[in-house]
Amino acid sequence: MDRFLVTGGAGFIGSAWVRQALADPSVRRLVVLDKLTYAGNLANLEPVAHDPRFRFVRGDIADEATVAALFREEQFDAVLNFAAESHVDRSLFDPAAFLRTNVEGVRVLLEASRAHGVKRFLQVSTDEVYGAVLSGQSRESDPLRPSSPYSAAKAGGDLLALAYHTTYGLDVVVTRGANTIGPYQFPEKATPLFITNALDNQPLPVYGDGRAVRDYLYVEDHCRALTVALRRGRAGEVYNIGNNLEIDTLTLATAILDLLGRPHSLIRLVSDRPGHDRRYSVESSKLRALGWQPQYGFAEMLALTVAWYRAHEAWWRPLRAGEFRAFYQALYGSRLGLSS
């Protein structure tokens, strides 16, 4: 496998995987297909833009004509599907966009992969498909109980990919990764939102009692896990990707403020996210048995992430203008008592 289609490769994790993959000289061809929604950003691919093995195509994975044309032009051994509407809070406003990309888009890619003899299809799914796990850890065989339109749509795409293996024999691997942080993450998710708000001395909106727990994973670790699943995973199998961390939102917010030397008084407890999952935790020994191990603990990944945002204001500042301001006002305006 040395010719890759990476969908959603201009986003946070997809672009990190592309940068990592192209550091490997055995990769012969890598095409990114990305719609460039508000979350897609060509600046994320700037480090590889001039690599002769790399090509960028702007297009929608749910658009059959676009996908068919690309599969006629290029030959792919493997497809990695990162493309998704990925923010839970946005899915509460506009579920339709999530169903179109996260379910229908997956179907279009699976059909094209089947028609063109793709050797492996990696569906990048999420630990959110298991729903809240109040104790213990989710295993790959556990039932899916998604809580939000985002995670329900991701569960649909995840199960559809597995069904294409069962029904049509397509070589499919599904990964279910934990909350990922690091450079180039759009500043709407908790970690980059809190960092950029803190840098601007703006309040950090913490939902509910601030005790919802997430398992944080550094983006480099997530990408290496995807490569292990891609190259060594078994067809038709699911692999959880987790770090065994239990970090609640107040701990995250406090750690960010401490790293930036800002006062804890910037923390605001605000009304909760509807359907907010209290805790995620995945058991990832199945992937670890294939040779993957996370390298980054919480303190190190957070320090690296905070340092990156501090040094890259030119990357994130424009993203907080424009459309983001309307989104911010709609989500946080009344919670934070902001004037419109």
In the structure, how many helices (H) and strands (E) does the chain have? Answer: 13, 13
Report the interface residues with ligand DAU, using CB under 6 A.
86-89, 126-128, 178-179, 189-190, 193, 205-207, 212, 214, 249, 273, 280
237 is catalytic: no
Contact 131, 145 (CB under 8 A): yes
- The pair of structure tokens assigned to 55 is 């090509």
| Residue with nearest beta carbon to ligand DAU | 126
Q: Give the Cα separation of 44 and 178 in Å (integer).
A: 21
C-beta of 172 vs 178, nearer to ligand DAU: 178
Question: Smallest gap, in angstroms, from Cβ of residue 20 to ligand NAD?
Answer: 13
Active-site entry in 127, 158, 215, 221: 127
C-beta of 84 vs 253, nearer to ligand NAD: 84
Question: Smallest gap, in angstroms, from Cβ of residue 16 to ligand NAD?
Answer: 8
Cβ-count burial 235-252 (b if 16+ within 10 Å, e if not): ebbbbbbbbebebbbbeb
Question: Smallest gap, in angstroms, from Cβ of residue 285 to ligand DAU?
Answer: 19
- From 5, 273, 277, 294, select the one nearest 177 (Cα to Cα): 294
Look at residue 78 and give its three-state secondary structure: strand
Dihedral through CA 274, CA 161, CA 20, CA 119, nearest 10?
Answer: 180
Look at residue 214 and give its three-state secondary structure: strand
Interacting partner of 36 out of ligand NAD, ligand DAU, none (Cβ under 5 to 8 A depending on kind): ligand NAD
Question: Smallest gap, in angstroms, from Cβ of residue 265 to ligand NAD?
Answer: 28
Active-site entry in 128, 142, 158, 221: 128
Question: Smallest gap, in angstroms, from Cβ of residue 193 to ligand DAU?
Answer: 5
184 is catalytic: no
Contact 110, 161 (CB under 8 A): yes
Interacting partner of 170 out of ligand NAD, ligand DAU, none (Cβ under 5 to 8 A depending on kind): none
C-alpha 168: how far from chain center: 27
127 is catalytic: yes
C-beta of 66 vs 251, nearer to ligand DAU: 251
Under the binding rule (CB under 6 A), the answer on residue 40 touching ligand NAD is yes
Q: How many binding residues for ligand NAD (CB under 6 A)?
A: 30
Cβ-count burial 118-141 (b if 16+ within 10 Å, e if not): bebbbbbbbbbbbbbbeeebbebe
Which amino acid is residue 176, in one-letter code?
Answer: R
- The pair of structure tokens assigned to 116 is 């063109």
Give the residue numbers annotated as catalytic, written as ranges.
Answer: 127-128, 150
- Interface residue list for ligand NAD (CB under 6 A): 7-8, 10-14, 34-37, 39-40, 60-62, 82-86, 101, 105, 124, 126, 154, 177, 179-180, 186
